Amino acid sequence: MEKFEKLTGIAAPMPLVNIDTDMIIPKIFLKSIARTGFGKNLFDEMRFNRDGTEIEDFVLNKPQYRSAEILVAGDNFGCGSSREHAPWAIADFGIKCVVSTSFADIFFNNCFKNGILPIVLPQEQVDLLMKDAEKGANARMTVDLESQEITTSDGEVVAFNVDAFKKHCLLEGLDDIGLTMEKKASVDAFEAQASQARPWV
């Protein structure tokens, strides 16, 4: 997995609440058996007309946000399905960090598996970052995972929390499966004990 350490980039404002996984990547694009190539269909129905032309007023089609690397979003971002195609599409587009007051649980976990940092902040601070994002391409934010701080284009600093294990994995770009394999002895012991206790499983 790609590491996430520190990122300075353009933040795109998407204040709509309840942006769901069908909006992020409509199901007709879930049929690939690869992990890559989903970025071109990110937010497809919000971003493109049926004939493939761009919908001008969609935020990521505006010239100042076309190369956004951060999203500042409304409440409950990523609700809906478990499709990892959603974070795959976000990462493939080039977005590495999403900020909101809340995320759907499965989407939140999926982000960390794909080098994306989802940050939960109180409404007031999301509002502050949303305002900063609305300034456009000249206003770049910095997200520093090590120090757990976002710095706005005006130099305001917003601290955020992140689970210590998830932070470690993102900073190092670690592979979960490899880490779990190191605990094989514990898992094997559990499995042996559980198959005695609950042999019907």
Partner 1 sequence: MSPKTLYDKIWDAHVAHVSDDGTTLLYIDRHLVHEVTSAQAFEGLRIAGRKVHAPDKTIAVPDHNVPTTQGREDPAQMTEESRIQVAALDTNAKEFGVHYYPVSDVRQGIVHIVGPEQGWTLPGMTVVCGDSHTATHGAFGALAHGIGTSEVEHVLATQTLIQQKSKNMKVEITGKLMPGVTAKDITLAVIGETGTGGGTGYVIEYTGEAIRDLSMEGRMTVCNMAIEGGARAGLIAPDQTTYDYVNGRPHAPKGAQWEAALNWWKTLFTDEGAHFDKVVTLKGEDIAPVVTWGTSPEDVLPITGFVPSPSDFTGGKVDAAARSIEYMGLTPGQKLTDIEIDTVFIGSCTNGRIEDFRAVAEVVKGKKIKDGMRAMIVPGSGLVRLQAEEEGLAKIFEDAGFEWRLAGCSMCLAMNPDQLSEGERCASTSNRNFEGRQGYKGRTHLVSPAMAAAAALTGRLTDIRDLI
Which of helix, strand or coil describes residue 89? helix
Min separation Cβ 76 and partner 1, Å: 4
Residue 37 and residue 45: Cα distance in Å, rounded? 17
Closer to partner 1 by CB, 45 or 149: give it.
45
Q: Is the dihedral of CA 109, 47, 7, 102 positive or negative?
A: negative
* 43-70 burial code (b ≥16 CB/10 A, e <16): bbebbbeeeeeeeeeebbbeeebeebbb
Interacting residue with partner 1 among 110, 150, 158, 170 (CB under 8 A): 110
Structure tokens at 71: 């999203």
Min separation Cβ 15 and partner 1, Å: 6
Asked whether the beta carbons of 82 and 22 are under 8 A apart, the reply is no
Residues 33-92 that bind partner 1 (CB under 8 A): 33-35, 45, 50, 74-76, 79-84, 87
Min separation Cβ 130 and partner 1, Å: 10
Instruction: Summarize as ranges the residues that interact with partner 1 (CB under 8 A).
Output: 15-18, 20, 22-23, 26-28, 30-35, 45, 50, 74-76, 79-84, 87, 102-106, 109-110, 113-114, 163-165, 176-177, 180-181, 183-184, 186-187, 190-191, 194, 198-201
